[in-house]
């Protein structure tokens, strides 16, 4: 799988296989739900959580067919449970307010906290992003995802970021940073509640066009700021993207809280991967 991901050389490659129960493994019990194993790899690393690769995998299973034209899942299937390094993740079919098809993913909430870096760390972070240190409004860190969130004052500052990736990875952080998300709050006239870009050269992904796992923390951060349980997120990478983030009220028996990330996907390539025997 690592070799295939390296050869394909895209942000994340998802590998999905049929799930079969293992001894003492707790599985979700829900009528009409299919279960699969799911793993994600960047060109260099296996990662614990990836939102847009999960969305894409669910889209393929719901909408595509095998080479003999057999559906991957029956049409009656309304949801899929994936067993992953982050536990069970659920993806359901849904509809937008405009009646468009959506996929709704239930993910564990991130654990972001506001942090203060040393002056040297702050200055080098700003330099690595090609921003002045004064552009940084607030810093937060999520230990769950190992992401540093750099909030800036203006959307133009997010758009102008031109990362120096070698400098970024050379920074000696006091925190275990493995990704940097630059984010800005939306204004009253904007069509988003927050807009962001995400960089992770530590994992072989210089800029991720759309990054779902960062939104598990961004949702928590901006719920605290806006008091909105449903937020519109815009990703302003060159390719761009958008999603809806919704804070869920329920939590599991261990006290773990969840949120919902929803968006849409399209199939752009169909093909056959040939492997040497």
Which residue among the candidates 12, 104, 121, 151 is catalytic per the annotation? 12
Neighbours of 24 (CB within 10 A): 5
Neighbours of 22 (CB within 10 A): 8
CA distance 41 to 48: 9
For CA atoms 221, 58, 49, 150, the dihedral sign is negative
Encode 214-237: b = buried (16+ Cβ within 10 Å), e = exposed: bbbbbbbbbbeeeeeeebbbbbbb
Instruction: Provide the angle, in degrees to the nearest 10, between the axes of the packed helices 212-226 and 51-63.
Output: 110
For CA atoms 43, 44, 45, 50, the dihedral sign is negative
Tell me if residue 127 is catalytic. no
Secondary structure tally for the chain: helices H, strands E: 6, 15
Q: Could you give phi then psi for residue 128, rounded to 5 degrees?
A: -65, -25
CA distance 182 to 200: 12
For CA atoms 152, 155, 156, 161, the dihedral sign is positive
What are the start-end ranges of the E strands in 78-156?
A: 79-84, 87-95, 101-108, 112-114, 136-142, 147-152
Which residue is associated with the tokens 């799911």? 38
Catalogue the active-site residues: 12
């Amino acid at each position: 799988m690592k070799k295939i991901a390296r050869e394909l050389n895209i942000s994340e490659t998802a590998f999905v296989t049929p799930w079969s129960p293992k001894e003492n493994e707790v599985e979700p019990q829900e009528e009409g739900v299919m279960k699969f194993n799911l793993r994600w790899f960047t060109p260099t690393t296996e990662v614990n959580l990836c939102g847009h690769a999960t969305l894409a995998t669910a889209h393929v299973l719901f909408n595509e067919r095998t080479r003999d034209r057999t559906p991957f899942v029956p049409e009656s299937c309304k949801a899929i449970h994936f067993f992953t390094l982050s536990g069970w993740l659920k993806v359901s079919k849904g509809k937008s307010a405009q009646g468009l098809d959506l996929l709704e993913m239930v993910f564990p909430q991130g654990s972001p906290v506001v942090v203060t870096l040393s002056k040297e760390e702050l200055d080098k972070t700003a330099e690595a992003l090609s921003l002045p240190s004064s552009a940084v409004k607030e810093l937060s860190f999520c230990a769950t995802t190992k992401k540093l969130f750099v909030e800036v004052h203006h959307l133009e500052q997010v758009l102008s970021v031109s990362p120096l990736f070698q400098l970024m990875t050379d920074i000696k952080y006091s925190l275990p940073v493995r990704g940097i998300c630059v984010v800005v709050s939306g204004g009253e006239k904007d069509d988003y509640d927050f807009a962001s870009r995400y960089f992770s050269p530590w994992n072989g992904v210089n800029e991720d066009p759309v990054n779902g796992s960062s939104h598990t923390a961004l949702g928590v951060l901006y719920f605290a700021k806006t008091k909105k349980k449903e937020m519109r997120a815009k990703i302003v990478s060159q390719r761009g993207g958008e999603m809806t983030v919704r804070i869920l009220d329920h939590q599991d028996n261990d006290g773990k809280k969840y949120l919902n990330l929803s968006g849409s996907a399209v199939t752009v390539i169909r093909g056959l991967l040939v492997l040497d025997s």
